[in-house]
A and B are shown apart, each in its own frame.
Chain A
Amino acid sequence: DGGITQSPKYLFRKEGQNVTLSCEQNLNHDAMYWYRQDPGQGLRLIYYSQIVNDFQKGDIAEGYSVSREKKESFPLTVTSAQKNPTAFYLCASSSTGENEKLFFGSGTQLSVL
């Protein structure tokens, strides 16, 4: 089945620790995205990538880093500089044509110990 796989489903971070969230897609999409969702709020864009080996900051990139070494993969690292990391993280992908819709993974819930 084609889709987007995020792992793990739940992740706990200790203070001062970096953690990496995995996102893999087999939809052959060029573009991939990371969004953050806080309780009762909409999605805010962290980073996005329209092509391999290139990515751009979204609206709330501080404290996060990404890489795009393969078309299928777009991991997100939450660094120790992100002081309020507790949130639901969503990965998405799309084709890059006009009006292309985003397909979302099932999310990772990150909590701070």
Chain B
Amino acid sequence: EDQVTQSPEALRLQEGESSSLNCSYTVSGLRGLFWYRQDPGKGPEFLFTLYSAGEEKEKERLKATLTKKESFLHITAPKPEDSATYLCAVQMRTSGSRLTFGEGTQLTVNP
């Protein structure tokens, strides 16, 4: 059965304290892995797409990496405005353009 698991469920950091979020997947025929950010009461906002193992992408304080079994979202020197829920999703070769989401990691960055 295709599965996407994110850990931890919640993470609390002090401003400037770097850390990583994990997304592990067991799917057959991965086409792409997507990271989204979601603020409370709003729709998810696209961050990155990763297509193959070894690929890395960066945006400001965020860097996403991909292996054959998991993806990491590294947050360097976070700020309070980075507080949000981060969602990971996979797109399979057999499922067209639809995405299967993990349950998300709720990140809180304290000043």
Known A-B contacts A42-B87, A43-B87; A107 and B42 likewise in contact (beta carbons under 8 Å): yes
Binds B, one of A68-76, A78-86, A95-103: A95-103
Minimum CB distance partner of A103 in chain B: B46
> In the complex, are the beta carbons of B104 and A42 less than 8 A apart?
yes
Across the interface, do B96 and A45 meet the contact criterion of CB distance under 8 Å? no
Q: Which residues of B contact A92 (CB under 8 A)?
A: 43
Per the bound structure, the CA–CA distance linking A92 and B106 in Å amounts to 22
**CA separation between A81 and B51, bound complex, in Å?**
40
**Contacts A42-B87, A42-B104, A43-B87; A102 near B42 (Cβ below 8 A):** no
Is A31 touching B97 in the complex (CB atoms < 8 A)?
yes
* Contact assessment for A94 and B43 in the assembled complex, using a CB-CB cutoff below 8 Å: no
Whether B97 contacts A45 by the Cβ 8 Å rule is no
Which residue, B9, B51, B89, B101, has most C-beta atoms of chain A within 10 A?
B101
Total residues of chain A contacting the partner, CB 8 A: 32
Bound together, the chains give a CA A14 to CA B103 distance in angstroms of 29
Most buried by A among B31, B45, B46, B97: B97
B1-16 Cβ-contact flags toward A at 8 Å (1 or 0): 0001010010000000
Q: B43 — which chain A residues lie within 8 A by C-beta? A: 4, 6, 90, 92, 104-107
Are A106 and B42 in contact, CB atoms less than 8 angstroms apart? yes
For B41, list chain A residues within 8 Å (CB).
88, 107, 109
- Residue numbers of B with Cβ under 8 A of A are 4, 6, 9, 31-32, 34, 36, 41-46, 49, 51, 87, 89, 91, 96-104, 106
- 24 pairs of residues in contact across A and B, judged by CB atoms under 8 Å: A6-B43, A35-B101, A42-B6, A42-B103, A43-B89, A43-B101, A48-B98, A90-B44, A96-B97, A98-B32, A99-B49, A99-B91, A100-B97, A101-B34, A101-B49, A102-B34, A102-B99, A103-B46, A104-B43, A104-B44, A106-B43, A107-B41, A107-B42, A107-B43
